[in-house]
Structure 1
């Protein structure tokens, strides 16, 4: 659920009980969360996908467990497509994928 200011709050835990070990704001109510190991270093970090004003989907990816400026931004997919990030080629890096109707 988004904050009062419209930002999406991430609460991440390193175990199965208790509150989040790491909390930060990244994205908003209109973005879809897509975590992944975007740089292949073994750590999963946040990403978000949003509708692009010019059409399609825009991906915003971070390489740290923080909010703020994106490390990578690109357009991929059509509006309404579902983001399905995964390590598609087995090289240890998560890359984007989409599923469409």
Structure 2
């Protein structure tokens, strides 16, 4: 009977040691997982920031190109209006004078 109790005690001690070892391994795996998760988060944040920066740069280039195009179109329109004025200012002045004197 004592040998059965001794064997059961041995088994319980061995089981406790196995559970203790498993808990330590679990803690180690939890730490390792946490480190990997943090590394993943850091890398993802870096990649996201790089993509955001590229998008912002692209938008800035597009905005500049659009503004340059509008500026060029505005300059062309102003020059066209100035040329028209230079060629027809006398005619415009006569029309204005005629309208004033009709009243």
TM-score (norm 1): 0.15
TM value normalised by structure 2: 0.15
**More strand as a share of residues:** 1
| Bigger RCO of structures 1 and 2 (CA < 8 A, at least 6 apart) | 1
- Which structure has greater helix proportion? 2
Larger radius of gyration: 2
